[in-house]
């Protein structure tokens, strides 16, 4: 599996454009902002209007970030890794993980936006999504970004 960019499920959530970030540090700062916004969603849980607003902000951040990361890191790293089976294997694993995360994100945002979920279901889904997203961002920073810096920059 060697796509130039993420698959159709990820593209379904990544609809927007956005300016490319200038560095890996900028992407790391975006990771921090995404996590902070996800925490704000949790803290606003008792106020449905604030919670919905935080979810909209989070969705917009994720869409822009995934698009930027796809263009800046994934596609460039895949080009630079041509013939490097170790890095291509890493990228394939990240593609699979991102597909799973994208499906979870779409479900989370779709169900959260209806307001028809029981509170305990929402808390469970939020916790699952938070862990998946945080783990993905941490793996990107510890595995993928160093490979990018080694091969591309």
Q: For the segment 103-145, what is each residue's pLDDT rounded down to a tens digit? A: 888 888 887 776 665 665 666 778 888 999 999 999 999 999 9
User: 20 burial class (0-12, 13-18, 19+ CB within 10 angstroms)?
Assistant: exposed
What local confidence, expressed as pLDDT, does residue 46 receive?
Answer: 64
Among the residue ranges 8-12, 49-53, 58-62, 141-145, the one predicted with the least confidence is 8-12
Residues contacting residue 31 through CB under 8 Å, at least 6 positions apart: 65, 137, 140, 141
Whether residue 101 contacts residue 136, with contact meaning beta carbons closer than 8 Å, is answered with: yes
Tell me which of 21 and 127 has the higher pLDDT. 127
What local confidence, expressed as pLDDT, does residue 121 receive?
Answer: 64
Query: Can you state the angle between helices 85-114 and 48-69, rounded to 10 degrees?
Result: 160
Check whether 7 has a pLDDT greater than 70. Answer: no
Tell me the three state secondary structure of residue 21: coil
Q: For the segment 56-114, what is each residue's pLDDT rounded down to a tens digit? A: 899 999 999 999 998 889 999 999 988 999 999 999 999 999 999 988 888 888 877 76
Q: Where are the domains of the chain?
A: 24-151
Tell me which of 91 and 7 has the higher pLDDT. 91
């Amino acid at each position: 599996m060697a796509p130039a960019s993420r698959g159709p499920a990820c593209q379904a959530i990544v609809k927007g454009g956005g300016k490319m970030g200038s560095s890996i540090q900028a992407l790391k700062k975006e990771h921090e902002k995404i996590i902070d916004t996800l925490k704000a969603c949790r803290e606003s849980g008792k106020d449905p209007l604030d919670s919905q607003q935080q979810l909209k902000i989070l969705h917009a951040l994720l869409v822009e970030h995934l698009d930027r990361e796809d263009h800046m890191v994934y596609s460039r790293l895949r080009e630079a890794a041509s013939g490097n089976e170790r890095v291509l294997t890493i990228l394939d694993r990240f593609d699979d993980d991102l597909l799973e995360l994208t499906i979870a994100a779409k479900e989370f945002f779709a169900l959260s936006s209806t307001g028809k979920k029981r509170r305990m279901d929402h808390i469970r889904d939020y916790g699952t999504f938070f862990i998946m997203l945080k783990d993905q961002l941490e793996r990107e920073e510890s595995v993928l970004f160093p490979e990018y810096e080694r091969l591309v920059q």
